A and B are shown apart, each in its own frame.
Chain A
């Protein structure tokens, strides 16, 4: 028994264990998602998070210990963003032709998100610091945290709201678009990336590479625009 315990103490402290848990859970989650025919509710991020979260809860592992191992996966977010250039480059003619609709949708989408968030938060009496943390929720987490911090919000809360928004957006996008009978993959992808940043983009790539390309563009553009609009909107309204 003592031997087993020291083995656990050793393994729990190495990146190997938590990296393995993360990847294995993801493979399992992906199998589950595939078995449902990629049903939007069976979101791979959501399933993997639940699986890993359960393992951490059962073993009483603190998050920082887990992150020691999982940081290698987390790090890949950067390189994955860089290689969004690849589908963008391959479809540059299609993207260039859609420049006007993209810019119009970007402005309308970013402004709507901010206006709805602020209006709803005030209607529901959500306190000011939480409202500020909510404002950049559709933007990719690194930028969103920066925006919230600059405006006097809580960056940790923002990170949580950003991830939840991503999962909600990735789950909503397909049924909503089907309901609206929108078959234009450029428009569907662009909306997913604007409303639900990288998690929406990941969902869009599952559906079609064109959708994924446009989602990636929307994610980048919205990070830029919301960083400018959020302080303006909060300033105007208070």
Chain B
């Protein structure tokens, strides 16, 4: 558990350092996700890394910790969300207009994204029957 958390925090920290250092418009944790992905690739490669790694990182504890965090992703938006309640006055002047923009644009954004994904996927996957539809 602690070894898993340490590894996760280490990935985030390195991601944050890289993001700030390079000035790229990607959040540190997203770069950390890339680093974690790289770690998993290395761990399961044939380099024999598992022998020198702490056991929790190879016996499935890391995966369990990750699943626990992801299952409760909603919880982590609560503190910021509560902050919104206190600042709704900012929306008052343009409230209705903003509500229209948010609902319409979010619906269209979902619609276009999913339709383009399906349209391209069915074209690509017809040529390659191994793709799952």
Chain B residues whose C-beta falls within 8 Å of the C-beta of A195 in the assembled complex: 106, 109-110, 113
A207 CB–B CB distance under 8 Å:
no
Q: How many residues of A contact B (CB 8 A)?
A: 109
- Please report the C-alpha to C-alpha distance between residue A45 and residue B128 in the assembled complex, in whole angstroms: 40
B114 CB–A CB distance under 8 Å:
yes
A79 x B5 contact (CB < 8 A)? yes
Main SS class of interface, A: helix
A49-83 CB contacts (< 8 Å) to partner B: 49, 52-53, 56, 63, 66-67, 70-71, 73-74, 76-83
- Please report the C-alpha to C-alpha distance between residue A184 and residue B119 in the assembled complex, in whole angstroms: 12
Chain A residues whose C-beta falls within 8 Å of the C-beta of B120 in the assembled complex: 100-101, 104-105
Distance of B111 from chain A, by nearest CB (Å): 7
B97 CB–A CB distance under 8 Å:
yes
Chain B residues whose C-beta falls within 8 Å of the C-beta of A205 in the assembled complex: 70-71, 73
Closest-by-CB residue of B relative to A218 is B113
B32 x A78 contact (CB < 8 A)? yes
B121 x A187 contact (CB < 8 A)? yes
- Please report the C-alpha to C-alpha distance between residue A116 and residue B110 in the assembled complex, in whole angstroms: 12
CB-contact partner of B70 in A87, A146, A160, A218, under 8 A: A87
Q: Which A residues contact B (CB, under 8 angstroms)?
A: 22-23, 25-26, 30, 43-46, 48-49, 52-53, 56, 63, 66-67, 70-71, 73-74, 76-89, 94, 97-98, 100-102, 104-106, 108-109, 112-113, 116-117, 120-121, 124-127, 130, 134, 137-138, 140-143, 146-147, 154, 156-157, 159-161, 163-169, 172-173, 176-177, 180, 182, 184, 186-188, 190-192, 194-196, 198-199, 201-203, 205, 212, 216, 218, 220, 223-224, 227-228
The 5 sampled A-B contact pairs (Cβ below 8 Å) are A79-B9, A82-B35, A85-B33, A86-B62, A194-B109
